[in-house]
Every structure is written in C-alpha cells, then in structure tokens.
Amino acid sequence: MSKPLPQEPEFEPLSRIQILAAMGVTAILLLLVARIWLWLDDVIILEVQLSVSAIALGVGIGLGITVASSLVYQLWPAYQYSADVYLKLVLKPLIWPDLVWLGILPGLSEELLFRGVMLPALGFNSVAVVVSSLCFGVLHFSGVQQWPYVIWATAVGAVLGFSALETGNLLIPIVAHMTTNMVSSLLWKLEG
C-alpha cells in the first residue's frame, strides 16, 4: 500500500515581492557563477546564433516540454503533487505581467550557466549533458517532498542540453526554456 502524499507544502507562502526578488537574486547569482567560471577557466562559451529557424526550433522544443509535462502530470501522482506545491509556491503570488519575468530571468541565467558555460567546460558531449542536467535538477530542489520535480527538471535539463549539443546554438535552449516557463505558467494560472 502506498503512503499518502502530505497535504501541506514545506514552505510558508511568499509574497509577490519576495518571489520577484528571489528570481532576480537567483538570476544574478547564476550569472556571477557563469562569469567567475569563465574567468577561472579557459571556456569558450556556446554561441548564440540568431535566426528564425533557431527561434522556431526553441519554441517547438519548449512547447514539446510543456506537453510532456502535462502528460507526466496526469500519469504520475507524486509529480503532480510536487509540481502543484512548487508552482503554488512560485506562481500563486505573481500577477500576469510577472510571468514574463518568470520566463526571461531563468531562461537566460540558467541557460547561460548550465548550457552556455558548464556544457562546454565539461567537454561538450553526452557525459557533460548528463552532469549539467543533474546540476540543473538539483537547482530546482525545494524540499524533500519535491524529489519528483527534481527528476523532471533533470529530464528537462537533458532535453535542453542535447538541443545545445546537437545544434551548437545556445539560443535554442534559451528560447525553449523561456517558452516552457511562460506557457506552463500561463496554463497553471488559468486553471488556478
């Protein structure tokens, strides 16, 4: 017999200002880590190659991640609970225009660090994708009950990492990350 999932999140609700401040501080910290890494190591950052096809591919990957998340949400109760707790904690206090920041800040800062700097620094190969994806998943850890969300974030990190590895273009995972964050957030807010 499976153990019932706890009903209450491990964290007290945060205010809108606290969420926005946390997003901003996290983005700045990740950008600083990326900058320090570049300063300490002779890493050639993954290029951003602007093109309509790269943007379209990034949007397509982001929408695919969003659809996959919806399916996993329906099929895996532990992930459903974990995602609800995480999204309630992060999204509930935010107003509609804030969702743009929720797409832009993590999409830029996390992709710059995990796919732009870490992936090339670790060898720009499949092993580097796995390691950077695990680190990306751990970044999304917000409590012991949230392990399914960490697994999901790790899988998403792998998709984003392989998109960077296959294309050599950092713009694709950036656009994919922004797309999935914004579309998923919009859908959650509409349903909530």
* pLDDT tens sequence across 138-191: 998 877 888 999 999 999 999 999 999 999 999 999 999 999 999 999 998 888
* 5 domain residue, yes or no: no
pLDDT at 119: 97
d(CA 62, CA 43): 27
* 24's tokens: 């901003």
Nearest to 31 by CA among 133, 136, 105, 137: 105
* 27 domain residue, yes or no: no
Residues 6+ apart with CB under 8 A from 5: 77, 78, 81, 145
* 54 domain residue, yes or no: yes
* 145 domain residue, yes or no: yes
Share of the chain above pLDDT 70, in %: 94
pLDDT at 10: 53
* pLDDT tens sequence across 42-55: 999 999 999 999 99
CA atoms within a 13 Å half-sphere pointing along the CA-CB vector of 177: 28
Q: Is 143 left (phi over 0), alpha (psi -120 to 50) or beta?
A: left
* 173 domain residue, yes or no: yes
Is 135 in contact with 121 (CB distance < 8 Å)?
no
pLDDT at 192: 67
Query: What is the chain's mean pLDDT, rounded?
Result: 91
Per-residue pLDDT at 11 exceeds 80:
no
Q: Which amino acid is at 96?
A: W
Least confident of 8-12, 18-22, 153-157, 168-172: 8-12
* 12 domain residue, yes or no: no
* pLDDT tens sequence across 56-110: 999 999 999 999 999 999 999 999 998 888 888 888 899 999 999 999 999 999 9
d(CA 9, CA 145): 8
* 58 domain residue, yes or no: yes
Average pLDDT over residues 104-128: 97
Per-residue pLDDT at 28 exceeds 90:
yes
| Domain total in the chain | 1
pLDDT at 83: 87
Is 172 in contact with 58 (CB distance < 8 Å)?
yes
What is the pTM assigned to this prediction?
A: 0.91
pLDDT at 4: 47
* 8 domain residue, yes or no: no
C-alpha R_g of the chain: 16
Nearest to 51 by CA among 186, 171, 174: 171
Structural domain span for residue 159: 43-191
Tell me the CA distances in angstroms from 139 to 19, 65, 143, one per residue in order. 16, 18, 11
* Dihedral over Cα of 180, 61, 45, 138: its sign: positive
